[in-house]
Amino acid sequence: MASADSDYEWRALATSLAASTLLGTVAIIWGVISSSRVVLFDGMFSLAGIVLVGVSMLAARVAVSAPTKQYPFGRHAATPLAVALQGAALLATVAYGAADAVIVIRDGGSDAAATSVVIYGVVSAVASIAVMGWLRSYGPTLAIRPWPRPSGCRGGPVHC
């Protein structure tokens, strides 16, 4: 039988997944309509992130599966493979973004209206904050707190 925290966790993940899918789809449509490559890129990055989270979840499930005759030591290699796939996807995203930026600069800039990009940013931020607020109010038993820092850590991850 699932615990209340487990139920909340799955609901939180489902809500987060649905909100990310909706925001990613809106970004793609908004980017195409407004001819904004940066908004289109944001939408594609959001949807790719959802796929990569799915890969991580699948790898985590496979990694904890019991050993079999074919895999007598288990399938723990699934986790580093998923991390490698995520790294490759992130590297490809950075390369695409850099190449696209060079092309836009070389072509003299973009025709996208700055107002449209700013409105998209505000809508996206408000929607994200609303989802976060809903998640916090929906499951008060599962505290959302920052990651604990190691003792002696004085700043961000660069200083730890």
**pLDDT score for 151:** 61
- Note the maximum CA span of the chain: 61
Find the radius of gyration of the CA atoms of the chain: 20
Instruction: Give 2-59 pLDDT, tens digit per residue.
Output: 555 556 667 777 788 889 999 999 999 999 998 888 899 999 989 888 888 888 878 8
Average pLDDT, the chain: 81
Q: Where are the domains of the chain?
A: 4-144
Rounded Cα distance between 97 and 99, Å, is: 6
**pLDDT score for 148:** 56
At 119, the pLDDT band (50, 70, 90 cuts) reads: very high
